[in-house]
Amino acid sequence: MRGIKVDLRLRIAIVLATVCIAIVGAMGFTLYLASEDMEAGLVEQLVSEEMDSLMNRAEFSDVAASASGPNLQYYVLRSPQDYAAIAPRLQDLSPGTHRVGTGSEEMHVAVRDVSGVRYIVAYDAAAHELREQRFRRLLLTALATAAVMSVVLGYWLAGVLTRQLTELARRVALLAPDEPHPPLERRDHDREVAALAHALDQYRARIVEMIKREQEFTANASHELRTPLTAIRTSCELLAAERGFDEKARSRIDMIAGAAEQMTERIETLLYTARHKATEAAEPVGLRDCVNDAALSCRDEISRKGLVFEVPIREDAVVKLNRRALQLVLANLIKNAVRYTERGYVRVTYEAPCLTVADSGTGIAPQHLPQLFERFYRGDHDADGFGLGLAIVRRICDDVGWKIDVQSRPGAGSSFSIVLG
């Protein structure tokens, strides 16, 4: 059937079983034909010998018109009355050897005419047919047994043949590119498996080298970018403290400071996604405080739009997780909610184990939902940004094992839910 994938072990087992069944079946069929031919030859020989014996007896003594023996009947026909006394199916036979009847009533008949006398020897093949039936049943039973044994032994043998591949696949699944690991290739591997393991070792070495270069580049880039950003932010703070600037100048200073702050946040996010290990830094986190910290960069815009920012989460709501990961996810989701909400609210709620960021904004059209978390994807109204925020959110959630879901309707707001666990 199309679409159904069968694993390698089962395919090998099927091939081995098919070959074995075909061989056993061919041998059984050949044996059956040979036995048929042999038994037919023996029957013909028996009938021929009995015919010679009957003619010898008739030559030296007066033999009755009909006589019988074990599975045999003899006829010596000298007159029309003798012909009329035999079975109708024997009356019109020509000289030679014949098979008369079918199944359990089949007879092998030999007919000879000598000096106006007809000699007939009829062999009852019922016993022969019974032996054939028993032999056929025996062959079918043997074939069925061989089929079952072929399947079982084929599956076992396929497991032996694929054991090294299965073990190699298990070891590959445990590989971590940023952790040391013994080579996959081993001395006890078969040649083909060893070649595959060697290729995987080389591929892993290239991946490790690429990751190393990426980490070095990320570290260098972050260091080089942080230095001027720190200088920009410091300069903005010093300028903001100076007197003598009008409102227009101070607005521009605030814009520069905000842009530097956004750049710093984006660098931190990119560094996290490039270098963070999802299994590290799990700690008890107060969800309410974490939400408020994540929303700090959006407070000014929330105030400017007059939005209601609600966090109905209890103070004692604590979950053990990666605080930095959650803060980055919440920061992106809250920022998106604020960006696309002109009036109403942005609400962050928690009902274990689900943390939800909801808004009363413009919502998302249904056709955009399937691609919402793809990199560089932007909806119709998304003129700002590069379409990376939600892709980063999905990446972080996948790394730490969280599930994220979105519910939205145009004009009715959106709701992003994160299952923490």
The CATH code of the domain that includes 184 is 1.10.287.130
Residue 164 lies in a domain: no
Q: Is the same domain home to 253 and 296?
A: no
pLDDT tens per residue, the chain (421 residues)?
455 566 777 788 888 888 888 888 888 888 888 887 887 788 788 888 888 887 888 776 666 655 566 678 888 888 888 888 888 888 788 888 888 876 667 788 888 888 888 888 888 877 777 777 888 888 888 888 888 888 888 888 888 778 888 888 888 888 876 677 788 888 888 888 889 888 988 888 888 888 788 777 777 777 777 778 888 888 888 888 887 788 888 888 888 887 887 777 777 766 766 665 544 567 899 999 999 988 888 888 899 899 999 999 999 999 998 888 888 899 889 988 998 899 999 999 999 899 999 999 988 888 888 888 776 656 555 445 545 678 888 888 888 889 999 998 888 899 999 998 7
Q: Is the same domain home to 58 and 117?
A: yes
Residue 155 lies in a domain: no
- Domain termination residue (choose one: 257, 275, 293): 275
Residue 160 lies in a domain: no
pLDDT of residue 310: 93
DSSP character for 352?
T
Report H helices in 69-177: 80-85, 88-91, 126-173
Residue 161 lies in a domain: no
pLDDT of residue 318: 92
Q: Is the same domain home to 250 and 208?
A: yes
Find the angle CA(28)-CA(34)-CA(40) to the nearest 5 degrees.
Answer: 135
pLDDT of residue 384: 52
Q: Is the same domain home to 285 and 402?
A: yes
Q: Is the same domain home to 254 and 337?
A: no
Residue 413 lies in a domain: yes
- Domain termination residue (choose one: 243, 275, 307): 275
d(CA 141, CA 145): 6
CATH of the domain at 412: 3.30.565.10
Report H helices in 61-125: 80-85, 88-91
d(CA 369, CA 392): 16
pLDDT of residue 279: 46
Residue 37 lies in a domain: yes
pLDDT of residue 65: 57
Number of domains in the chain: 3
Q: Is the same domain home to 294 and 187?
A: no
CA distances in angstroms from 383 to 102, 184, 340, 379, listed in the order given: 91, 49, 11, 8
Is 319 in contact with 360 (CB distance < 8 Å)? no
User: Strand pairing of 96-100 and 107-114?
Assistant: antiparallel
Q: Is the same domain home to 361 and 336?
A: yes
User: Strand pairing of 403-408 and 345-351?
Assistant: unpaired
pLDDT of residue 21: 84
Q: Is the same domain home to 17 and 99?
A: yes
End-to-end Cα, the chain, rounded Å: 39
Domain coverage including residue 315: 280-419
Q: Is the same domain home to 324 and 400?
A: yes
The secondary structure of 302-335 as a DSSP string is: HHHHT-EEE----TT-EEEEEHHHHHHHHHHHHH
Q: How many helices (H) and strands (E) does the chain have?
A: 10, 12
Residue 231 lies in a domain: yes
Q: Is the same domain home to 265 and 286?
A: no
- Domain termination residue (choose one: 101, 127, 146): 146
Amino acid identity for residue 129 in this structure: E
Q: Is the same domain home to 240 and 357?
A: no
Residue 152 lies in a domain: no
15-36 residues labelled b (16+ CB within 10 A) or e (exposed): ebbeebbeebeeebeeeeeeee
Q: Is the same domain home to 271 and 285?
A: no
